Amino acid sequence: MAQQTQIATMTPYFNRWMEVYPTIGDLAGANIDDVLKMWEGLGYYRRARNLHKGAIFVMENFDGKLPANKKKLMEIPGIGDYTSSAIASIAFELPEVPIDGNVKRVMARYLNYTENVNARKAHKVFETFLKERLKASGANPNEFSQALMELGALVCTPSNTTCEGCPFKEMCACYRGEVTTQVPFVPKKKPVPSFDKSVLIIKNHDSILMSKDDSDGLMEGLVRLPQIDGHTDNQPITKLRHVFSHLAWDINVYNQNLPINFEFETYWVPIKDLSKLTIITAHRKILQKLDLL
């Protein structure tokens, strides 16, 4: 949850999640639609799907217990290098170091690393350096990893360039004045492509037309309003721009009274039941703006 969401935002979600799915077995046995509904509002629903797949994998392959081994952890769906390192070091006190954005910033300043901190090369440089220091210090991997992440989150922040309160000042290239370029260096992201979309509000008495069309490859299995490519010549009742990580939708919303033959399956949902559905974020915002949700 914390990978794409601020801690303050995700905390109530986490608490509710642990009440409903206190064990790996509980999550593995849950219906995926219920899992996605629990996740609603956090976005990036692939994370929820991977948690569900991962729980099933652990039940089937590791007798319901996470393995105390980084390589085996990476066999679990949804667990990559960072998450496996975090689990290995924090949960099992193995000599691994998770490299997150905060740690990258700390290490770039500490070492005066001027290349792209998000490149794989930078990750290897930081990981090698930190593992050597972890081994040489004899520190507890759990405390070592969490201290590094907290240092970046609370002390060596993007705005704290004066190094106030840092316990490593004298050892840091940034504090010694050796940093002469932008550190950490992150190349500017290319602007994401935008696509015009039309969302149609089609009501029949107390029901509204919905679909589960995910032919665009986005948000598989979630419910959405009928959406088509392009804009029409009609006057929209509202507009919305929704930005994903790799593209954006410029949405015009129209009231539609005449029946339409869509290329995807649609079905009627009582408006009072919309809150029970896991609706894609962009369309949930539209329904809220129109006081339908």
**Tens-digit pLDDT profile for the chain (293 aa)?**
887 788 899 999 999 999 999 999 999 999 999 999 999 888 889 999 999 999 999 999 999 999 999 999 999 999 999 999 999 999 999 999 999 999 999 999 999 999 999 999 999 999 999 999 999 999 999 999 999 999 998 999 988 888 888 888 888 998 888 887 888 999 988 889 999 999 999 999 999 999 999 999 888 889 999 999 999 999 999 999 999 888 999 999 999 987 788 999 999 999 999 999 999 999 999 999 999 99
CA-to-CA dists, residue 126 to 96, 118, 187, angstroms: 12, 11, 18
* Burial (0-12, 13-18, 19+ Cβ within 10 Å), 218: middle
Longest dimension (CA), the chain: 73
How is residue 42 written in tokens? 């956090």
pTM of the full structure: 0.79
Comparing C-alpha atoms, which of 171, 181, 48, 45 is closest to residue 116? Answer: 181
